[in-house]
Every structure is written in C-alpha cells, then in structure tokens.
Structure 1
Amino acid sequence: MSSTPDLAADADRPEVGTGVWLHGVVRDVDPAVLAAIPGMAGAPVRAVRAAGLSAVVSTAPLTEYGEQALRRNLEDLAWLERAARAHHAVVDALARRGPVVPARLATVHHDDARVAGQLAARRTELTGLLDRLTDRGEWGVKGYQVPGALPRAAEETGTGGAGAAYLRRRRAQLTAREQGQRIAAEVAAAVHDTLAGYAVAARRHAPQDRRLSGAPTPMVLNGAYLVESARLAGFTALVAALGERHPELRLELTGPWPPYSFAEERPAGPALTVREPAC
C-alpha cells in the first residue's frame, strides 16, 4: 500500500472498502482472457485503460490489503507466500501472452482513477519498457559450489605426533575450503560475465540462503538474463557448455520468468516494496 498522505490510515480506525492491487502493465489485453485469471481476492482480474496502455488489477479489500493490514501481513510469512503466489500467477499468465511490466508486490492504489493517472504520467517510460521486453524473456541461472570438483590441498608432512598431525590436517582442510570458496566465486563471476555478454541485459542478484534454495551446497551465482527469444537455443547451449567447462559449479537454468528483474531501467531494489508508484 502506498504511504502517500491521501492513503495514510488512522491507526485507531480499521480500514473499510476496497483498493486496487496492481499486477502489471501491458499494451492491451482481451477481457475474455482476464475473465479466466483469478486475482488477489479470488475474483477475476480486470483492466484499467488509459494513455494507450492497460493496467491489470485486482479489487483488494482494505481489511486485508489496506495500509494497516499490509504492514501486519507482510510480516506473516505464510500470508506473504500466498500473496506472492497469487500475484505471480497473474503476472505469469500475462507474460505468456506478450510483454508485461510486472508491478512489485504490494502495489495498491486508492482507486482506478489513481491507476489511470499513473499510466498517463508514466506513459513514455512504460511504453519504452514494453518495447524493450517484446520478444524477450527472463531466464535465471543459479550456480552452486561443487566442493568435490575442486583440487584438494596437498597434505603437509612433518613430525610432532598425533596432535601435530591433526592440526596439520585441520589447517589443510580449512585452506582447501577457503581456496574452494575463492575459486567458486571467481568462476561464478566469469560465468556471469559470459552469459551477460550474450544476453540483452543481465542482473546479478544476491545468492539465496540454503534454507530458501534447498540446495546442499552454497549458491554462488544467482543471475537473471534478458534473452532474445530467437537466441534462446544458443543461450541454453552456452549454459550447458559453461557447466562442462567449469565443474567447480553446478549450473541450473530456470525460466522463462516474467521480467521482474528488468521492469525498471535501473537495477531493482528489494522485491517486497510497499509503495504506490512502482510498476
């Protein structure tokens, strides 16, 4: 929800009525298509049209999506996951039919007039982004460290008994681990640079924690790449070739995704942003 003055809520008074949750902006969309896509409250999404563009929105009850409710719910991981999945399902359905500028999660406007006003005010920017995203898709490449593929440090020899031998082995293990982490980081940077050179645009996001990735080894690359649809086969082949060339990393190609990483000319900020003007 926006923190703009006209939407600020009285902390002592529960919010009533409805707001407008923004999913994304497209050039145009068939109402029949929207009728089959459930929005945040389960009802079909709809389009707000202005300035030659269409904003795809959900009617959002303020009891759940108002200023106060959002600040509370965004701290609830179960609620956040449900909201993110519902939002993504709409954006993904739009992306499968053409270019879309996804809105950030929790972008809620006061009413349709405010949405239309944003379309008019940002028409040049949004049109440029839609042009840039046409016939292109976002693909993710994650790289995970493969410790077993790294050369082990040579074990030191010497005398001094069992205690000294243990310390030497332990020091060798730590040295090998540090070397492995350094090499993996260097390889990840080289892989990203190579993929970025092939793609139209690229973003390198912070690696995910293992609790989120579910991987047994650390993630050292979390890249997003905007790829021409006509060059996708070449990009896929390049990822495979880089994986064979660098056994230190296990590369994982995912996508296509809606272009979340490229919805702005500048690198995106935190994914969970509560603000009105973001698209």
Structure 2
Amino acid sequence: MADSVVYLYAVTDAAPAEVHGEEPALAGVDGVPVRRVVSGDLAAVVSSVDPTRFSEEALRRSLEDLQWLERTARAHNAVVTAVARSGPIAPVRLATVYLDDENVRALLDERAAEFSSALDRIRGRAEWGVKGFAVRSKGEGDASLQVTEEPKPGTAYLMRRRTERDRAARGLQDAAEAAEAVHREMSACAVASRRYQPQDPRLSGRREEMVLNVAYLVDEAGADALRRLVEQHDGQSLRLELTGPWAPYSFATLEEEP
C-alpha cells in the first residue's frame, strides 16, 4: 500500500513558480499540510492523507459518522476559503481522493478547458447569499372579531383560529410576492444566481417562515448594489438577511469522480 493518497479540495490558477508546493501555514483535513499540484495554467489544492483512513471502504464508514463529517467539512471549507482570498477557486465535493499526484495532473490536463472556463466565470467575483423571511403581521394573533351576536365559547375559538390562519396565509403570500420582486431586482445586479429551497425553521434558526433563499454571483459593484437593495427592502413585508462574501460554491463547484 502507498504511504499516502491525495485529498483534493479544489482547482485554482497555477501559482507563481516560487510558491509552488506547500501552502504557507495552511492545514487541511486531519491537520495535514496543504500543497499544490501544478499542471500548465492550473493547480490542484491537495493534501497527502493516510490511505487507511481514506480508502474506499474507510470513507464509506466515515460518511455515516456525523462527527467525522462535520469535522472534515469544516477543514475542507477552511482550506477553500483561505485559498479563495488570493484568487478564483473551484471547489470539489467533500472527500474526493486520488491515488497519487500523477492522477491529479491527469485530471487537470484532461479537463483543462472546463476548469479554466469555471475559473474565468468567477474571476474577480464572489458569492453572496440572501434569505428572506415573512414578517409577522402586527395584527396576527389578535383575537378580536367583529360579530353581530355573541357566539358560543367553542364557536368563538374556532372563528379566532380561522381568522388567524387566514391572516397568516395572506401575510405569507404578500411576503412571497415581495420576495419575487426583490429577487428580480437583485438578479439584475448579479452575473448569475441560484435559488435553493427555503430552509425549515429548525435549520434557519428563525421563527419566521423563509420565502427566499438565493445565492448571487457578483463583482464589487454588484455587491454594493446588493447591499443597497437589502437595506431598501428589509422590514417592509419581509425581513432580508445578507451573508458573504463566500467562495463561489454555488457557481464553480466541480463534481469529480476519482
């Protein structure tokens, strides 16, 4: 068995010759130093990892271990984020492993045009996320009802519940329509956008219903415009949350099969 296998984080531009090799003070999964494998104009960001821990069989077991997944995902993302500070980077999926550097170079050579196109698409740009939440109506939960005669207690309760449900549904519809309008404006500021399913409140950490979950790929001017639009529309019929800048996972992730 080989002494190590090669864990691939991402593909980026080839660094100048004087900094080829190990990334300064950057550790990846399992605390192993990060380095670059270069071929032509491209570089693969990699680590040499333990072949027993990253064999096909070991990975099958590890991918069912939530603690391992969280720890490895954090390390993987930390490497991508650090390298992205110095240029465009196209991340690959978690736990992508190759037998050796030559196999990685073969990958760079075989898919050079595709990788270069992905890097050019995101060059000088960053990913920003916008989430929109329905604002709870001030009257929501108001038990007052306009009735012509005093209803029975059970009837009053059912009427209150129906009124509250109707009010909540109208508020959610208004927020969804507002979110669509905001998305159209934000898309005009972006090079590209990618919509995701709204998150469950247990994942978002918010009580409000999520009605918008979009990633935008923008340059510096687009980022400024995005911030202004968030400030302009936040708090009307929906609450907006802006996050970023991030490495452009939504627009340059490379799904590889070793």
Corresponding letter in the other structure for 2:202: R
Matched to 1:235, the amino acid is: L
Residue number among 106, 112, 117 corresponding to 2:106 in the alignment: 117
Question: 2:165 corresponds to which residue?
Answer: 174
- Whole-angstrom CA distance in 2 between matches of 1:276 and 1:109: 9
Which of 62, 67, 73 pairs up with 2:51?
62
| Paired position in structure 2 for 1:219 | 210
Indicate whether 1:128 and 2:123 are aligned. no
Aligned residue in 1 for 2:7: 21
User: What residue in structure 1 maps to residue 257 of structure 2?
Assistant: 276
Shift in Å, 1:187: 2.2
Distance 1:188 1:231, change over 3 A: closer
SS at match of 1:181: helix
Aligned residue in 2 for 1:41: 30
Aligned partner (choices 146, 150, 162) of residue 135 of structure 2: 146
| Aligned AA (1:34) | E
Instruction: Tell me which of 141, 147, 167 is aligned to 1:157.
Output: 147
Residues 78-114 of structure 1: CA distance to partner in whole angstroms, max 9, x if unpaired? 2111111100111001111111111121222222122
Say yes or no: does 1:203 pair with 2:194.
yes
Supply the RMSD in Å over aligned alpha carbons: 2.4
Q: Does the alignment pair 1:243 with 2:213?
A: no
1:231 and 2:212 correspond: no
- Are residues 1:97 and 2:86 paired? yes
| Separation in 1, partners of 2:43, 2:92 | 13
In structure 2, distance between residues paired with 1:24 and 1:256:
18
Opposite residue 100 of structure 1, the aligned amino acid is I
Give the length in aligned residue pairs. 253
Tell me the amino acid that sits aligned with residue 251 of structure 1.
L
Shift of 1:32: 7.5
Q: Relative to structure 2, which stretch is displaced further, 174-183 or 90-99?
A: 174-183
Q: How far has the Cα of 1:252 moved from its partner?
A: 1.0
CA distance in 2, matches of 1:49, 1:172: 65
Sort the Cα spacing of 1:144 and 1:17 in 2 relative to 1 into closer, same or farther, 3 A: farther
Shift of 1:39: 1.3
Gaps of 5+ in 1: 1-14
Q: Secondary structure at the match of 1:20?
A: strand
Distance between the aligned counterparts of 2:89 and 2:138, measured in 1?
41
Q: Which has the higher strand share?
A: 2
**What do the CA deviations read for 1:247-271 (whole angstroms, capped 9, x no partner)?**
222111111100000015xxx9xxx
Is the contact made by 1:18 and 1:59 (CA closer than 8 Å) also made in structure 2? yes
Query: How big is the shift at 1:118?
Result: 1.2
Aligned partners of 1:222, 1:258: CA distance in 2, in Å?
17
Tell me by how many angstroms 1:197 deviates.
1.6
SS of the residue corresponding to residue 47 of structure 2 reads strand
**Secondary structure at 1:64's aligned position in 2?**
coil
Q: Cα–Cα, structure 1 residues 168 and 111, in superposed 2: closer, same or farther, change >3 Å? A: same
Cα distance in 2 for partners of 1:256, 1:33 equals: 26
Q: Is the 8 A contact 1:150 1:248 kept in 2?
A: no
CA distance in structure 1 between the aligned counterparts of 2:39 and 2:191, rounded to whole angstroms: 29
Deviation at 1:31, TM superposition (A): 3.9
Residues 122-156 of structure 1: CA deviation (Å, up to 9, x unaligned)? 11111111111111111111112221357789845
Distance in 1 separating the partners of 2:53 and 2:182? 43
Name the SS for the 1:45 alignment partner: strand
CA drift of 1:33 comes to: 7.2
Question: Which residue type is aligned with residue 165 of structure 2?
Answer: L
1:5 maps to none
Q: What CA distance in whole angstroms lies between the structure 2 residues aligned with 1:276 and 1:114?
A: 12
Cα distance change, pair 158–135 in 1 and its aligned pair in 2 (3 A)? same
**Alpha-carbon contact 1:146-1:248 (below 8 Å) kept:** yes
